[in-house]
C-alpha cells in the first residue's frame, strides 16, 4: 500500500520503518529537521509538507504530540486526501478532538480511526504495540493490516473516540496503581520489611498489578525495568502527566468522580514541574515518595 506517515518522532520513526520493511511504500513528513535527518533516505521518501505526504495515499498515519497538532494537521491534509482512503491517528489526544477529526473525515468521504498505542518506544521498535481503536468496522478492517505489522494486538473498542477513551482509562489505572505500589514500598521501608519479600508476596497476591509484577519501581527487584537503568524511560513521567491530564479533562467534562485519578494527576504534576521528574521514567516517583518528609504524629 501507499502510506503517508506524519510525525516521525520517538514513536513514529520506528513505526514507519516497520511498514517499509514489510514492503509498503511510505512517504513521511515531520516539522523538525532533526527527525527527518534521522530517517533512512533509501527507505522512505520525505515530503515537503503534510499535505504533500497525504496526497494520493491509500492510508495516512499521524503520530503527533497532542490534540492541537492533530487538529492542525487534519485540517491541512483531509482536503487533499483521496476519497475512501483512510486516516489513522495513533497519537494520544483528547476524546473530543478525536471525534471532531472523525467527523471531518466522514464529511470528506474518508475513513477515520483513532488508534492510540501502548507499549512505548520499545514496543514501536520491536513491533509489539497494542492498538486501542475507535471507528467503524470497515475502517478497522483496513487498519488491521497495518496494526499487525506495527503491533501484536489491536482491539476494536467502538465508534470514533473509543480508542482514546480506552487509552486514558488504562493510563489512569496505571498512574494510580504505580503510586499505590510505590507507597507500599515506602511503607515497607519504614516497617523494616525487605523490598524483595514485599514483591514476592504482592506479585502473587491480591495487591498485584502490572506496576508491581512487570514494571517494578524498586531497583533490583522483579524483572528488569527502568528502575534498573537509573529510571531512564521507558514511559516518561511527562507522558504520564499528559495522559492523567487527558483523563481528568474527560472526567471533568462528563462529571465522573475520579478522585484517585485527580490525586495521581497532582502527584505527577508536582514531580514533573517542581521536582525535575520530566525526563525520568514514571516509576521514578518511588524516590519522590520514599524521600518525602516524615509526617509528624
Ligand atoms: P515525539 O515528540 O518524539 O514525536 C512527535 C513528532 O511529531 C515530533 O517529531 C514533532 O516534530 C512532530 N510534529 C509535531 N507537530 C507536527 C506537525 N504539525 N506536522 C508534522 N510533524 C509534527 O513524541 P512520541 O514519543 O513519538 O509520541 C507521539 C505520540 O504517541 C504522543 O501523542 C504520545 O503521547 C504517544 N505515545 C508515546 C509513547 C512513548 O513512550 N513515547 C507511548 C505511548 C503513546
Tens-place pLDDT, residues 124-173:
999 999 999 999 999 999 999 999 999 999 999 999 999 999 999 999 99
Atom 15 in ligand 1: residue holding the nearest Cα: 69
CA of 119 to the centre of ligand 1 (A): 14
Tens-place pLDDT, residues 83-94:
999 999 999 999
At residue 107 the predicted structure's pLDDT band, cuts being 50, 70 and 90, is: very high
For helices 95-107 and 67-77, give the axis angle rounded to 10 degrees.
10
92 against 122, higher pLDDT = 92
The backbone torsions φ and ψ at residue 92, rounded to the nearest 5 degrees and listed phi first, read -95, 115
Q: Would you state the pLDDT for residue 36? A: 94
Q: Ligand 1: which atom is nearest the Cα of residue 233? A: 40
pTM of the predicted model over 0.85:
yes
CA of 190 to the centre of ligand 1 (A): 40
For helices 162-190 and 95-107, give the axis angle rounded to 10 degrees.
160
Using CB distances shorter than 6 Å, the residues near ligand 1 are: 6-12, 29-32, 35, 50, 63-65, 69, 72-73, 91-92, 117-118, 120-121, 235, 239, 242
Q: Would you state the pLDDT for residue 294? A: 55
> Is 275 among the residues known to form the active site?
no
2, 41, 167, 275: the active-site residue: 167
Per mean pLDDT, which range of 25-29, 36-40, 69-73, 146-150 is the poorest? 36-40
Q: Ligand 1: which atom is nearest the Cα of residue 13? A: 26
CA of 22 to the centre of ligand 1 (A): 22
Ligand 1 pocket test, candidate residues 7, 119, 163, 236, most atoms within 8 A of CB: 7
Whether pLDDT at 296 is above 60: no
Q: Would you state the pLDDT for residue 297? A: 42
Query: What average pLDDT does the segment 26-34 reach?
Result: 96
At residue 58 the predicted structure's pLDDT band, cuts being 50, 70 and 90, is: very high
CA of 204 to the centre of ligand 1 (A): 36
41 against 280, higher pLDDT = 280
Atom 42 in ligand 1: residue holding the nearest Cα: 120
Q: Which residue has the cell 514485599?
A: 198
CA of 92 to the centre of ligand 1 (A): 9
Ligand 1 pocket test, candidate residues 61, 64, 76, most atoms within 8 A of CB: 64
All cell numbers assigned to 227 = 528502575
Tens-place pLDDT, residues 201-242:
999 999 999 999 999 999 999 999 999 999 998 899 999 999
Amino acid at each position: 500500500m501507499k502510506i503517508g506517515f506524519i510525525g516521525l518522532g520517538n514513536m513514529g520513526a520506528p513505526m514507519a520503518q516497520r511498514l517499509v520493511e514489510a514492503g509498503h511504500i511510505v512517504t513521511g513528513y515531520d516539522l523538525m529537521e532533526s527527525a527527518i535527518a534521522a530517517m533512512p533516505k533509501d527507505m522512505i521518501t520525505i515530503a515537503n509538507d503534510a499535505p504533500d505526504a497525504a496526497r494520493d495515499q491509500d492510508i495516512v498515519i499521524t503520530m503527533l504530540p497532542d490534540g492541537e497538532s492533530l487538529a492542525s494537521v487534519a485540517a491541512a491534509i483531509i482536503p487533499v486526501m483521496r476519497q475512501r482512503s483512510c486516516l489513522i491517528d495513533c497519537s494520544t489526544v483528547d476524546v473530543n478532538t478525536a471525534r471532531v477529526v472523525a467527523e471531518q473525515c466522514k464529511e470528506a468521504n474518508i475513513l477515520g480511526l483513532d488508534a492510540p498505542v501502548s507499549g512505548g518506544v520499545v514496543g514501536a521498535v520491536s513491533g509489539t504495540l497494542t492498538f486501542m481503536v475507535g471507528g467503524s468496522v470497515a475502517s478497522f478492517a483496513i487498519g488491521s493490516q497495518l496494526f499487525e505489522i506495527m503491533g501484536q494486538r489491536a482491539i476494536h473498542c467502538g465508534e470514533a473516540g473509543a480508542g482514546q477513551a480506552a487509552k486514558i482509562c488504562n493510563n489512569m489505572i496505571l498512574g494510580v496503581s504505580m503510586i499505590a505500589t510505590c507507597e507500599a514500598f515506602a511503607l515497607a521501608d519504614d516497617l523494616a520489611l525487605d523490598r524483595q519479600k514485599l514483591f514476592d508476596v504482592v506479585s502473587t497476591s491480591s495487591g498485584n498489578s502490572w506496576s508491581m509484577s512487570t514494571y517494578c519501581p524498586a531497583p533490583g527487584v522483579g524483572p528488569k525495568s527502568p528502575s534498573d537503568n537509573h529510571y531512564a524511560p521507558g514511559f516518561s513521567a511527562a507522558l504520564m502527566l499528559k495522559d492523567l491530564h487527558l483523563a481528568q479533562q474527560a472526567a471533568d467534562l462528563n462529571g465522573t468522580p475520579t478522585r484517585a485519578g485527580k490525586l495521581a494527576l497532582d502527584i505527577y504534576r508536582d514531580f514533573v514541574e517542581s521536582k525535575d521528574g520530566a525526563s525520568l521514567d514514571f516509576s521514578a516517583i518511588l524516590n519522590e515518595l520514599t524521600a518525602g518528609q516524615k509526617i509528624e504524629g
